[in-house]
A and B are shown apart, each in its own frame.
Chain A
Amino acid sequence: MNSKKRKRSLEPYLWLLPSILLIGIFVVFPIIIVFRLSFSEISKAGIVGGFAGLDNYKEAVSLPAFPTVMKNTFWWVLSVVGLSTLLGFIAALLLNQKFKGRKIARSILIFPWATSLVIQASVWNYIIKYEYGSLNNVLLNLGIIRQAVNWRSSYQIEFVWECAVGIFVTIPFVTFCVLSGLQSIDEALYESATVDGAGFWHKLFSITLPLVRPSLSVSTVLNIIYVFNSFPIVYTMTKGAPANKTDTMITFLYMLNFYDRKKGPANALSVIGFLILCFCAGIYMITVMRKEEETL
């Protein structure tokens, strides 16, 4: 009897074991290695030497490009997560209406998300290309413009394009998270609100928003992590050029490691990024969970 009980209490751990092993090998172990490397001397050929204290961190934050890269990363995460959440929410409201072809519209929306980011970014590269880009071609043929426009005439504009592509590919994820929340709201709530004379905005802020908040918070936390760590768009579109002015932290540390061969500072930056993410996601989760507990 006793042994049966023990078996039963062990059972959940047994089921969890594969995931724990996977996470241990592919997540925890690399994190530990990066932490260790960030405090070690690493030669240009990649040979790990002795303990380096905080030297790698000091070198990383004193790199001339560091302030620009941090600023870019901030705007990148804020604009992509912020705008894609807003636009994705609006798209979800539209797709929750009953109309002909709703299923088709929903499946079209998932395309950008289902396509690899490298392909997306390359396609956008072709669209906005000055010499033979399709955007210029279409506008010229429609007679909207007389001369081809250089859509990426300065690095500021290139960075805006990168953010725009980031927003475009992130919208579907938000939309589907919100849509799943919307579908679980009881129609009767809206009906009784209408009977009581509530308008569109009133219903939006008093019924819809509070009830989809759990889905919104999940999508936002995941998006902060995904977008912060996003590599393909920036790397495919500009590789951070000119002179790291369009780099975000992730592409910058990649170039630092594999092009500049400054492996120590690159590992230190990785750790800094990891801590920033833990901090942001932590604060967000705590505030959101508190609010949810209050409302329950």
Chain B
Amino acid sequence: MKKLTSVLLSAAMVMSMGMGTAVTASAEEDITLDVIICQYGPNTNEWFLGSGMDGTNFVDKFEAENPGIKLNLDVVSWNDVYTEVDTRLANNNAPDILNIDVFANYANEGLLLPVSDYCPEELYDDFFPSFIDQSVIDGTVWAVPDLASARALYYNVDIFEEVGIEVPTTWAELEDACQAIIDFYDGEIYPWGIDMTTDEGQAAFAYYTWGNGGGFVDENGEWAVNSEENAEAINFALSLVDNGFTNPNPATQTRYDLQDMFAAGKLAMVIAPNSLPTYVADKGGEINMATAGIPANEGKTSSSVGVMDRVMAFKDDSAPDQDARNEAIGKFLTFFYDPENYVGWVSMEGFLPAVYSAVESLVAADPSFGAWLNVLDSCQFYPTAKAEWDQVKQGVIAAEQNALTGADIQEELDALQTQLVG
């Protein structure tokens, strides 16, 4: 009996050894890429992992077309992604490919691979150059854009017709339009929406300062948050609040609150991304809306605010074959930006594309895209390539919120500027 057991046991051991070698052998051939994708909406998960891509999904289709490369892909919500990435970096377990908005901190710490190491030339030339320029530090490109959105002024056409006013293009016209709407509806409808919350207060800063010839940086790209133009612009925004032209609590009412009010017909004008019509329709609102440029100060040019997210690749010194890894990352990107896949992705979530090859089919499917692509050409971006951007973003929001409760905006911005440049 004992003998039989030992024979069986050794047989089992031999078999398991054989299986073990088989597994390692296949692992040596396969490259597994850890990918983190941000959740842009309810469809993101379905498209990458479920069955939202014509019955299949991104991972299955990619693995079928690229034998030898496996994807370990996670879709993570925007709320959690920073924590997740931080934790993984702290534990020396960086993802291979990351989709997120920021990149400067990672690049400055030497954690990223330069794009030229992995991005095929043909694909690189397909990106809008103005987008690529936003991911350059010291002459090196560290990330590629995955998609973009641009902001414009949306207004409720019915309200404007009822009151009998034109869409404002300057600040003075904006004040007149606000007053007219207040008078006509006896304060029942807010003319103008302002969001100075921790969610997106930096966008408000951009809308007004860029419309007054100011901004986060000067013409040499150095921080200049405390310029006179900036203080004047924010004071103008605060005067709209004080005059009762806006939603009552700009420090806690986010853009989504504003979009809800707009969808309910309680707000006449809101600055929002190009996905607003989809948002309003999802909320069951039926608003007759149109877009216009963001009003600027007299004699200054209006510019749209572009927001762009990125895809980047982290270094992994433990990878046995760096060239093969780089090639796999390149294949991932080529597959993602292939118009056959990418067009579906961009239009599904209501964003604007980052590559030329997607434009044609997008415009064919929805002619309104053409106008937005022109906006993209003229828009400005946040200076996210500068290392102090996090601090500036939080700093201008705090300055706005302090000013809302009575502080002097020039003093607040001076203090921030001193922190930045000493």
Contact = CB atoms under 8 A, between A and B. Distances in A.
Contacts of A245: 401, 405
Contacts of B82: 258
A211 B196 CA distance: 53
Residue among A241, A245, A259 with most chain B CB within 10 A: A241
Contacts of A130: 248-249
A87 B198 CA distance: 35
Interface stretch (B62-70, B84-92, B145-153, B324-332): B84-92
A45 B398 contact: no
Contacts of A242: 196, 251-252, 401-402, 404-405
A47 B87 CA distance: 9
Contacts of A121: none
A195 interface: no
A261 B105 contact: yes
A206 interface: no
B248 A45 contact: no
Given A131-B266, A242-B251, A45 B394 contact: no
Contact of B390 (A44, A153, A238): A44
A77 interface: no
A65 B83 CA distance: 23
B106 A45 contact: yes
B252 A47 contact: no
A7 B405 CA distance: 68
A223 interface: no
Greatest chain A CB density within 10 A among B197, B249, B397 is at B249
Interface in A155-172: 155, 158
B111 interface: yes
Size band of the interface chain B makes with A: 20 to 34
Contacts of A239: 197-199, 252
Contacts of B248: 130, 150, 153
Contacts of A24: none
Contacts of A46: 85-87, 89-90
Contacts of B261: 131
B138 interface: no
Query: Which of B252, B397, B405 has its CB near the most chain A CB atoms (within 10 A)?
Result: B252
Given A152-B249, A258-B83, A241 B197 contact: yes
A155 B251 CA distance: 9
Interface string A128-156: 00111000000000000000001011110
A241 B198 contact: yes
A150 B190 CA distance: 14
A65 B89 CA distance: 29
A48 B82 CA distance: 16
A244 B399 CA distance: 11
Interface in B188-202: 196-199
Interface string B101-117: 00001100101000000
Contacts of B197: 239, 241
B264 interface: yes
Contacts of A261: 105, 390
Nearest to A261: B390
B198 A259 contact: yes
21 contacts: A43-B109, A44-B390, A45-B105, A45-B106, A131-B266, A150-B248, A153-B248, A155-B251, A155-B405, A238-B252, A241-B197, A241-B252, A242-B196, A243-B251, A243-B402, A243-B405, A258-B83, A259-B198, A260-B390, A260-B394, A261-B105
Given A243-B251, A243-B397, A263-B86, 15 more contacts: A43-B105, A43-B109, A45-B105, A45-B111, A131-B261, A152-B252, A239-B199, A239-B252, A242-B401, A243-B398, A243-B399, A258-B82, A259-B198, A260-B394, A261-B105
